[in-house]
Chains A and B, each alone.
Chain A
Amino acid sequence: MQRSFLAQNPSVMWFLAALGLFTVVVTLLAEGTGTALISTSFVKTLGKVLCLCLIAIAMDVVWGYCGILSLGHFAFFGIGGYSVGMWLMYARTEAIVETSMASSVIPPTSAEVQDAIAAQIFGVVGASEFPMIWMFSHSLVLQLLMVVLVPGLLALVFGWLAFRSRVTGVYLSILTQAMTLALALYLLQNDSGLRGNNGLSGLQNIPGFDDVPQSTISMVFFWASAAALGAGYVLFARVLSGKMGSVIRAVRDDEVRVRFLGYHVESYKLFVFTLTAIVAGIAGALYYPQAGIINPTEVAPIASIYLAVWVAIGGRGRLYGSVIGAAFVSLLASWFTGGGAPNINLGVYEILWTEWWLVLLGASFVAVTLFFPGGIGSLFDRLKGDAK
């Protein structure tokens, strides 16, 4: 009597088909693999947008479905980025140092190589030794493990403390803001070991693939981001289907009642919070090699608020809604702030979109919340309603 999961959830099929089609079209038009109608930098933008869509569906699950308005999920995204960035910087600097030292008469000892790498990486913050947190940076496997483990453990501990004390609603939101702010302030310190406000840079150069042009590397990351988004979508749709989804939505609507049904509400919240944090970490790990640089401002409190805005505009409580919201708003943002939109000269005052874009975003957020609570995603429901 059990039908397959995909057959029961046609919207997942539609989403995967649309994502697949989009990937094929971009591949055919891209500089590296097709007709070069799409520049490499725009391929990177699209790849980054896919990563933002992935963290947006995570946000939708934690907020739209489970009712936890987390305003700190970009902290996990940033940790994912830093984790993979540490290996990228280490391995690339190692290659450079080894090349430059190869010509010296006496072969360098491994300690000398280490010192040279450390001096290269930490020169900007006036240090020349590897801090403790870089102890695994030589190993890609270990750093990839950190992408999953560090956000997961942080979410587990933070969530356990917060949910156990029954912190809910706006108080929890403030607490998550404090968490991401604390992380940003920690990273800003020069002696935190992550290069302070310089952050990690040169992440677009993948060690061992120096001969491969960026046009090709950008496509590989684009495909990886698309695959991760598809996998994340299926994962969350699976979690939200059936009884688990029922309980998660019930926690959102009336957690007291769920408790009296015999469900340990805190465990469910912790499960959702931790799982979405891990997915956010993976999204970040794919995002920053495409962005090329990560610094503490990426995990500033405002980033997580933008995330909530995307999901609200796209339509929370619908996975595809959050994808639409994140893609639409972030592409629009890069159009406005990238000088794509012509400034409007009013004679006495000129509207510069790089500044006024935020006002526009804020106004549309208020408008969506007041007049259109289902967001863009709810348009699909109306289409379905007409078709019946």
Chain B
Amino acid sequence: MSTLLELSGVSVSFDGFKAINNLSFQIGEPELRAIIGPNGAGKTTFMDIVTGKTKPDEGRIVFGEKNISLIGMSESKIAREGVGRKFQKPTVFEAQTVRENLAMALKNPRGPFEVLFYRKTKEGAERIEALAEQIGLTEELTRVAGELSHGQKQWLEIGMLLAQEPRLLLVDEPAAGMTPAEREKTTSMLVEAAKTRAVVVVEHDMEFVRRLNCKVTVLHEGSVLAEGSLDHVTQNPEVIEVYLGR
């Protein structure tokens, strides 16, 4: 397992508030990692920084074998480098069909003229079928995404992320608002995806994290408080203090 993403000494503050404070973090490929932490620990800001939405004040972020720096790259460029992001709220294009949503996400050239003269291919169609199978939406391919249930939208979004073929997948609270059965299915999708790539799951729900059965990083006040197995970190007195002490 080689290191795919490395953050070192990253800090960012908003109006004097240090959302991320000298954060260092590494993830390998393939790996499944959960990030937990109380509200305001900097979980979402961490994702914003990696995906280019927020520019860090200081620190280094390097990605891939060539150690390219992600700082200063546009969001779309970072996405093309192989970083996929799933938002907390399911964000699919509701006015378009499941197939159109997946087709847009398929790994293909992204320039306007390449897209304008893009021709549908047999491989593309097969890839969409395979993805739909994987996320359990084969029957829904021609339906408009807005008609899907909450859980189905979440899966469609995961399917779109897989279609991008990212090397690093950042997932923000995938289990929020799901039924127990839907959670189980989501867990297996994420575990499956993490066999071939790096997956970072940000989650509040300890039960869900336990099911992922992976290394856990605890964030607190913008930096890493503890790292290790879930049992290990939950026995850490500092972690207990942070979660229960107030």
| Residues of A bordering B, CB below 8 Å | 1-2, 239, 242-244, 246-247, 249-250, 253-254, 256-257, 259-265, 267-268, 271
Contacts and interface: CB of A to CB of B under 8 A. Distances in A.
Given A2-B120, A264-B110, A267-B112, A246 B100 contact: yes
Q: Which of B95, B100, B103, B116 has the most CB of A within 10 A?
A: B116
Nearest to A264: B76
A144 B77 CA distance: 38
Given A243-B103, A243-B115, A267-B112, A260 B84 contact: yes
A351 B104 CA distance: 54
B96 A264 contact: no
Given A253-B94, A259-B79, A247 B111 contact: no
Nearest to B103: A243
A247 B113 CA distance: 12
21 contacts: A1-B122, A239-B116, A242-B120, A243-B118, A246-B100, A249-B96, A250-B96, A250-B104, A253-B95, A257-B91, A259-B76, A260-B75, A260-B76, A260-B84, A261-B79, A261-B164, A262-B80, A263-B115, A264-B77, A264-B110, A264-B111
B246 interface: no
A242 B75 CA distance: 24
Contact of B93 (A244, A253, A260, A264): A253
A245 to B, nearest CB: 9
Given A246-B104, A262-B79, 7 more contacts: A243-B103, A243-B104, A244-B116, A254-B93, A256-B91, A263-B76, A268-B112
Contacts, number: 71
A261 B118 contact: no
Interface of B: 51, 74-77, 79-80, 84-85, 87, 91, 93-96, 100, 103-105, 110-112, 115-116, 118-120, 122, 160, 164
B93 A262 contact: no
A3 to B, nearest CB: 11
B110 A262 contact: yes
B95 A249 contact: yes
Given A2-B120, A264-B74, A264-B110, A247 B79 contact: no
B80 A246 contact: no
